Structure 1
Amino acid sequence: MANEVDRSHFVRVVTLLGLCSILILMLVYLPIPFIPIWQSEFHVTMNVADWTSSAYGFAYAIGNIFWGTLSDSVRRVRVLYIGLFMLAVMTGLVAMSPSLALLIVFRVLEGAVAASFPAVAIAYIGDVLAPRYRAIATSVVSCGFLLASICGQIYGNLMTTGRGWHAAFLWLAVAYALLGAGAAFLLPKGTRPPTQVSIGSTYMRTFRLFRQIPLTLAWVATVPVLLSFIGMYSGLDALLSASYRSDTSQLVEIQLLGAPGILLSLVAGYFIRRYGGKWVFMGGLLIACFGVVMEAASHPMGLLTFASVVFVFGLSSAVPGIITLVGQLGHEARGSATAVYAFFTFIGASLGPLLETSVVASFGVRVFFLVLAGLLLLNVLLTGLGIRYPSSNRVESVKLHAQARREA
C-alpha cells in the first residue's frame, strides 16, 4: 500500500511540476522574438526594448531569494499554487499592456512572481517523495528548465506569425491558472509541518548559510552552467550567421536536435542515486567541456550539430547533480539553499550573452567556445577540490541508495 501511495505521489508531482518547469521558464525566453516587434510598435530603440527581458531577469533573480526562503517557514505546496495563481494574473496584465512602460512594470512583477516556482519546487520534491523517486523527479524538473529555452523561442516565433504577442501571453496566463488549480487539488500536501521560527529569523538563517564554505562553493559553481548554455547558443547563432549564412530558423533546428540530449539526461537520476550529486555534476561538466571543444574545432554543419548535442547532454546531466548537492549541503534549510542556488544560476544566465558579445567581438566565436570550455574545466576543479561531503551526507547517500535498491 505504501509503495502504491509513493508511486501515486510521484506521478502527480512529476507531471505537474514537469509541465510547470517548462511553461514558467518559457517566460525567460519568450520575449526574444518579440523584442523587434515591441521596438517597432512602441517606437523605441532596441536597447530600450531589451529592458523587457533585463528587468524581468533582475526581478526573477531577487524573487528566488524571497520565495525560496519563505518556503522554509510555510508549506511549500501553498507557495506553489498561490504563486501560479498570481503568475496567471501578472501574465494576463502583460498581455494587455498598452505601452512599453507598463509592459516593463508588469514584466518586473511577472518575474518576481515566477520566481516562486524553481527553488520551491526542488525543495518540495524532497519533502513529499520517497527517497528512490527524488533524483528522477529532480532530473525531470531540471530538464524542463532547459527545454523551456527551446520551447519559449519556438512558441514565440509561432505566435509572431500567428495571433501576436498579446495572445501569446494570454494563453500562458490561462495555462498558469489551470496548473494552479491542479497544484491546489492534486499535489500532496506533505508531512513537513511549517517551522515555528519566524520569517525574519528564516531570512537571517539564509544569510548565515554563506558561512558554510562547501555550500558557498556549490553556489558559485552554478554560475557557469546557464552562462555556458545560453552563451553557447548565442555564439552558435553568430557562427551560423557569419560562416554558414544561415538564418534564425537554422538555430531553432539545431536547438530542436539538442532536445533529445536534454531528455537523455534523465538517466542522471539513476547515477545520482548510485554515485551522488557531486560526481554526476562533475561528469556532466566534463562531457559538456568535450562537446564545446568539438564545436570550436568543427567545420562541417553535421559535426557542429552533433557537438552541440553532446554539449547539451552533458550540461543537462550536470544540472540535477548540482541541485541535489545543494539540497544535501543545505540540510533543513533546503528551500533557502536552493533559492540562493537559483539566484546564482540566473546571474550566470544574464552574464552569458554579455561574455559572448565581448569575446566574439575581439577574438571570434571559436575562441569563445574555448573560453567556455576553460570555465567548465575550472568549475570541475573547483567542485572536486573545494566541495567535500560532510560525513553525515555520505552516510545518508549510502543509506538512501541501499533503501532504493531494496524497494526497487
Structure 2
Amino acid sequence: MNQNTKEKPSKLLLLLVLSALMAFTSLSIDIYLPAMPVMQIDLKGHVELTITSFLMAFSVAQLIWGPISDYIGRKKPLFIGMILFVIGSIGCALSQTIDHIIFWRIFQALGACTAPMLARAMVRDLYDRVEAAQMLSTLMLIMAIAPILGPLIGGQILKLSSWHAIFWLLAMIGMIMFLCIFKLPETHLVKTQQQKNMPIRQAFLNYGHLLKNWLFMRYVLSLTAFYVAAYAFIVGSPLVYISYYHIDSQHYGWLFGLNIVGVMLVSIINKKLVKHVALHILLKWATTISMVAMLILIYLFFSGHMTLLRLVIFLFIFFSMNGVVAATSIAAALDMVPQTAGSASALIGSMQYGSGVISSLLLTLGKGDSPQAMIVIMAIFATVSAFIAWFPQYHSK
C-alpha cells in the first residue's frame, strides 16, 4: 500500500467518480460517432478532423497538466479541466462550420485530458502494483458503459434533434463531473520542504528521465501501438458500418457496443488473473491474440471472403483484449516510477490517445468507406504492439 492509503474514501464512491473520469475520452468521441456522416454533409468538411484535432490537443495538454499535478496536487487541475471542457462543449454545440468545431474541439480537449490522466495517477497514489492493476481493471469494467451508451445515446438524439444537441449534453455532463470532484480527496501530498520549494520546471524535466527509462517505455510503447490500431477502428467504423455495409446510424451503436461488452468480460477475467500471473505475461498473450485476429481479417479481406459477420467477430476479439492490455501495461509502467506518477501518467496518456492522431490521418489517405484502410492499419499496429511486448523480454519487478 502507498502512504496515502489512509486517505482513501469509500470504495464505491472512488470507483464511480474515477471510472467516470476515465470514461471522459471515450464519451467525448464515441457519443457523436453516429452523427459523423451527417456532420460531414452539414459542415462540408472532413469530419474525421474533429477527432484528430481533439486527440492532438488531448495528448499535448496532458504533458503540461501532468507535472503541474505532481507539483500542486490532483484536484485543482481537475476542477480547471472540467471548466474548460464545459466551455469547449458549448462552443461545439454552437458551431456552424468545420473550422469552428475543430477550434472548440481543441479547447474541449484541453480540459478533458485532465480526467483520465489524473484518475490513473490517483490510482497509483493509492494502490501498489497488483492492487493498481485490479483497480484499473475494475475501472475499465465500469467505464466501458460510456462507449456502449455513447453511440446509442447519440443515435437517439439524432432522431429527436440535430448533432448540436449531443454537445449540449456533453456540457451538462461536464458540469455534473465538476460537482463530483468535490467528493474526491487530494491523493498527492507534497511531504517535504524540499519538495515544496522545488521549482515547477523540475517537474517537467521528469519527462527526460521517463523517456530514458526503458523498463517504463516498453510498456508505454506496446500500449501506444495497440491504441493506434484501436483508434483506427473507432474512427473508421462509422463510415465502414454505416456507409459501406449500410447499417442504420441508430443501430451502429449496438455493433460498436458489442466490442465494449468484450472489454468488460475480459476485464472481469483480468481482475482475477493479475493475482496469479505476472503483468508482462498477460500483456504478451493479449497483444498476441489481438495480432492474430487482425491478421485473419487481412487474409479474409484480400482473399475475397470478408463478410459483415466475420468482420464483427474478429474486431470483437481484437477490441476485447483492451481489457487486459490497458490495465496491465499502465499498472506495470506506473509501478516503475511511483514518485512521478502524474508526469508518467501524462506521458502514457499523451502517447496512448495521441496514437489516435496517427490512425485518423492514415484513414484520410484510405479508400473512403472501404474496410481496407481500417483493417490494414489495425493489423500493422497490432503486430507492432505484440512484437514490443515479446521482445525484448520484460523485466518482472
Structure 1 length-normalised TM: 0.80
Question: Shift of the alpha carbon at 1:248?
Answer: 4.4
Residues paired across the two proteins, number: 382
1:229 corresponds in structure 2 to: 230
Counterparts of 1:163 and 1:135 in 2: how far apart (Å)?
Answer: 41
Whichever residue aligns with residue 114 of structure 2, its letter is S
Counterparts of 2:362 and 2:40 in 1: how far apart (Å)?
Answer: 24
Q: Does 1:193 align with 2:190?
A: yes
1:380 corresponds in structure 2 to: 386
Deviations 1:257-297 (A, max 9, x none): 22220111223233234323322222211222233344443
1:58 corresponds in structure 2 to: 56
Question: Shift of the alpha carbon at 1:239?
Answer: 5.8
When structure 1 is superposed on structure 2, of 121-130 and 111-120 the one drifting more is: 121-130
Question: Shift of the alpha carbon at 1:311?
Answer: 1.7
Structure 2 unaligned runs (5+)? none
CA contact (8 A) 2:222 2:384 kept: no
1:403 corresponds in structure 2 to: none
CA contact (8 A) 2:24 2:112 kept: no
2:375 to 366, 369, 372: 369
Counterparts of 2:144 and 2:127 in 1: how far apart (Å)?
Answer: 23
Identify if the C-alpha distance between structure 1 residues 140 and 169 changes in structure 2 by more than 3 Å, giving closer, same or farther. Answer: farther
Whichever residue aligns with residue 331 of structure 1, its letter is P
1:78 to 57, 60, 76: 76
Whichever residue aligns with residue 382 of structure 2, its letter is L
Counterparts of 1:91 and 1:371 in 2: how far apart (Å)?
Answer: 30
Whichever residue aligns with residue 125 of structure 2, its letter is D
Counterparts of 1:376 and 1:254 in 2: how far apart (Å)?
Answer: 21
2:280 corresponds in structure 1 to: 278
CA contact (8 A) 2:230 2:378 kept: no
2:44 corresponds in structure 1 to: 45
SS at match of 1:333: helix
1:128 corresponds in structure 2 to: 126
SS at match of 1:386: coil
Identify if the C-alpha distance between structure 1 residues 286 and 99 changes in structure 2 by more than 3 Å, giving closer, same or farther. Answer: closer
CA contact (8 A) 1:214 1:329 kept: yes
The percent of aligned pairs where both chains have the same amino acid is: 15
Question: CA RMSD of the aligned region, Å?
Answer: 3.3
Question: Shift of the alpha carbon at 1:191?
Answer: 6.2
Counterparts of 2:72 and 2:388 in 1: how far apart (Å)?
Answer: 34
CA contact (8 A) 2:26 2:146 kept: yes
Structure 2 length-normalised TM: 0.82
Question: Shift of the alpha carbon at 1:199?
Answer: 1.4
Deviations 1:27-73 (A, max 9, x none): 133444445555555xx5323x5543332222111111111221111
Deviations 1:307-355 (A, max 9, x none): 3322221133211111112212223112211211111112321222444
Counterparts of 2:30 and 2:131 in 1: how far apart (Å)?
Answer: 30
CA contact (8 A) 2:9 2:184 kept: no
SS at match of 1:188: coil
Whichever residue aligns with residue 206 of structure 2, its letter is R
Question: Shift of the alpha carbon at 1:24?
Answer: 4.6
Structure 1 unaligned runs (5+)? 395-408
When structure 1 is superposed on structure 2, of 227-236 and 262-271 the one drifting more is: 227-236
1:268 corresponds in structure 2 to: 270
Higher relative contact order (CA 8 A, sep 6+): 2
- Matches of residues 165-204 of structure 1 in structure 2 within 5 Å? 165-184=163-182, 186-190=183-187, 192-193=189-190, 195-196=195-196, 197-204=198-205
Deviations 1:232-277 (A, max 9, x none): 3566666657885545456433222222201112232332343233
Identify if the C-alpha distance between structure 1 residues 119 and 386 changes in structure 2 by more than 3 Å, giving closer, same or farther. Answer: farther
Identify if the C-alpha distance between structure 1 residues 30 and 252 changes in structure 2 by more than 3 Å, giving closer, same or farther. Answer: closer
Counterparts of 2:282 and 2:61 in 1: how far apart (Å)?
Answer: 28
1:141 corresponds in structure 2 to: 139
Identify if the C-alpha distance between structure 1 residues 202 and 8 changes in structure 2 by more than 3 Å, giving closer, same or farther. Answer: closer
Counterparts of 2:366 and 2:164 in 1: how far apart (Å)?
Answer: 36
Counterparts of 1:73 and 1:189 in 2: how far apart (Å)?
Answer: 12
Whichever residue aligns with residue 337 of structure 1, its letter is A
CA contact (8 A) 2:263 2:323 kept: yes
1:89 corresponds in structure 2 to: 87
1:332 corresponds in structure 2 to: 339
1:399 corresponds in structure 2 to: none
1:254 corresponds in structure 2 to: 255
Counterparts of 1:101 and 1:359 in 2: how far apart (Å)?
Answer: 22
Whichever residue aligns with residue 336 of structure 1, its letter is S
Deviations 1:91-110 (A, max 9, x none): 23433446655443322211
CA contact (8 A) 1:235 1:360 kept: no
When structure 1 is superposed on structure 2, of 228-237 and 198-207 the one drifting more is: 228-237
